[in-house]
Amino acid sequence: MIPAPPLAVIAALVAGGTMPLLLALCARLPLGRATTSRGFWLATTLSAGIWCVVTFVAVRESGAPYIRPVPADEIVAGALLLAVAMLVVYSFWSLACFGFTVSMLLMLRSETSVKDIGEWAGSFGFGGGMPALARDRVGVLLRAGLARTDGESLRLTTNYAFLFARFVVLISRVFAVADTE
């Protein structure tokens, strides 16, 4: 009932399956500052490269490589599946390495307990605590041009930022997400 998968689809599954190994490998390369994010993009590029090679490159009996003609729908199916595999791997990778709740849990690895939740929160982010977390998260809005700082205050920038915020509220209601507003 299920037709045999075309080569582009098999290649996407293989390339997606190598992503965790490539991520582990690339994280150990000397890539300078921002190693983690550069390592991620390098692993993604290598994975896409593996897919391209397996899908498009074939070898003649004489040993000479050539570009194999592949139907467009097979290319699209393979590319979409590769994108899905990358997004799945990205979700697990980012959650394990940078998840907020995961980081909170790992902070308590030492044998000694913290006094209370306040001390736990204060130790977050190498002792930066909640102010450091606030600066980090607000930084996303500043870089996106949605907000600007005004002394110790934060201010919406344009009507576009306001409309975007209202759109987020609308989507939150559609998804039944509480406590956004």
Partner 1 sequence: MNSTAFCILASAILVHVILVIVLLHSRLPIPPVGIHVSSAACSYAFMHLCLWLYECLATYWLCMAALAFAAMIFLFGYSAVYKSLSLRVLVRLSVNHTHMLDMTWVTERVMRRSFDERARMLAAAGMVECNPEGVRLTEKGAKMAVRLGAIREFFGARPDGLYFSAPIPREKS
Question: Binders of partner 1 among 67-96, rule CB under 8 A?
Answer: 73-74, 76-78, 80-81, 83-84, 87-88, 93, 96
Closest-CA residue to 70 (of 58, 82, 81)? 58
Q: How far is the CB of 134 from partner 1 (least distance, A)?
A: 4
Q: Which long-range contacts (CB under 8 A, 24 or more apart) does 17-23 make?
A: 17/85, 18/47, 18/50, 19/43, 19/44, 19/47, 19/85, 19/86, 19/89, 20/89, 20/93, 22/46, 22/47, 23/89, 23/93
Task: Please identify, using beta-carbon distances, which residue of 33 and 60 lies nearer to partner 1.
Answer: 33
Task: Please identify, using beta-carbon distances, which residue of 3 and 63 lies nearer to partner 1.
Answer: 3
161 binds partner 1 (CB under 8 A): yes
125 binds partner 1 (CB under 8 A): yes
Among 11, 15, 39, 44, binds partner 1 (CB under 8 A): 39
- Could you tell me whether strands 147-150 and 65-67 are parallel, antiparallel, or unpaired per DSSP bridges? unpaired
130 binds partner 1 (CB under 8 A): yes
Closest-CA residue to 78 (of 48, 35, 121)? 48
Among 14, 27, 48, 54, binds partner 1 (CB under 8 A): 27
Task: Please identify, using beta-carbon distances, which residue of 62 and 147 lies nearer to partner 1.
Answer: 147
61 binds partner 1 (CB under 8 A): no
137 binds partner 1 (CB under 8 A): yes
Given the rule CB under 8 A, which of 50-58, 62-70, 119-127 is the region that contacts partner 1?
119-127
- The C-alpha angle with vertex 131 and arms to 128 and 132, in degrees rounded to 5, equals 50
Task: Please identify, using beta-carbon distances, which residue of 57 and 83 lies nearer to partner 1.
Answer: 83
